[in-house]
Structure 1
Amino acid sequence: MRRGLLDTDMLSYYLKGVPQVVDRAREYLAQFGVLEFSVVSYYEVRRGLEWAAAYRKVAEFEAFVDMCIVWDLDRVAAQEAAQISQALRVRGELIEEADILIAGTARARGLVVITHNVRHFRRIEGLEVEDWLAEG
């Protein structure tokens, strides 16, 4: 197992208590001690909670976030994301901007992207992808 960046979908599955994801997260935590995700995923989850007016869950989410590493989108990550976007554009395989920013953050930090959305992320050269919901 390598250090990884949880994509928004996997972060949501973890927060919802999906057993297979929670089990894999326990294994990950035993090895690395902390979960990591992008500020982009933070935004996407927080936005969903705000839209749902789930204020108790917002407080729970913030308490959870305090125990995690939330990677900012810094200059190096933004440069990686721009290069990813260009490579995908040239091949006619663009994906959502949020996914590009998450991938740029992971690539800049040398992290695996942990996602169930492997179809999008596997298009990105130089990016390792892991799916905690995959069989096996």
Structure 2
Amino acid sequence: MKQALLDTNILSYFLRGNPAVIEQFRIYRQQYTYISFSIFTYYEIKSGLLYKDARNQQQQFERLAEVSEVIGYDREISDIATQIYVNLRIKGQLITPIDLFIAATAIYCDYTLITANIKHFQNIPNLSYENWYLSII
């Protein structure tokens, strides 16, 4: 199993206690000591929790972020995102900029993207992905 990069929806399911996602976290943590997510996932989760004033989940998320690999954004990742964007635009298959950045991060790090939105990512070459949300449902 390759290291995983968690998409925002999977991290959100984890924070809400989804049994399938929690079980996959447990299995993953037997091999890897920490989880990884993009700074864009950090932004999406934190802004959503602040908007909802979900203080308990905010604290839980901050504790999780402290012991996780939160991967920043740099020029190499930007170059990959740019190429993904151009390829998808030519095909008329655009996705949101944040999804582009998350996919580019996974490709750059050679991680498997863990997402419940396979449709958003299925047209991106060189991206491996899995859906932990449907893994045991």
1:94 aligned residue:
94
Structure 1 segment 72-91 matched on structure 2, within 5 A: 72-91=72-91
1:8 aligned residue:
8
The size of the alignment, in residue pairs, is: 136
Please give the secondary structure, in 2, of the residue aligned with 1:103. helix
* Aligned residues: CA RMSD: 1.1
- 5+ unaligned residues in a row in structure 2: which ranges? none
2:130 aligned residue:
130
Q: Which moved more, 1:54-63 or 1:126-135?
A: 54-63
2:115 aligned residue:
115
1:68 aligned residue:
68
Report if the CA contact (8 A) 2:20-2:134 is conserved.
Answer: no
Opposite residue 3 of structure 1, the aligned amino acid is Q
Q: Which has the higher contact order (CA 8 A, sep 6+)?
A: 2
Opposite residue 121 of structure 2, the aligned amino acid is F
Report if the CA contact (8 A) 2:85-2:94 is conserved.
Answer: yes
Q: How far apart are the structure 1 equivalents of 2:62 and 2:31? A: 23
Instruction: Tell me how far 1:135 sits from its aligned partner.
Output: 4.5
Please give the secondary structure, in 2, of the residue aligned with 1:2. coil
Deviations 1:8-65 (CA, angstroms, capped at 9, x unpaired): 0001011111001000011111101111100000000000011112233322211111
Alignment pair present for 1:56 and 2:49: no
TM-score w.r.t. length of structure 1: 0.95
TM-score w.r.t. length of structure 2: 0.95
Please give the secondary structure, in 2, of the residue aligned with 1:113. strand
- Which structure 1 residue ranges, 4+ long, deviate > 6 Å from structure 2? none
Deviations 1:74-117 (CA, angstroms, capped at 9, x unpaired): 11111111110111001100011111000011111111110010
Please give the secondary structure, in 1, of the residue aligned with 2:132. coil
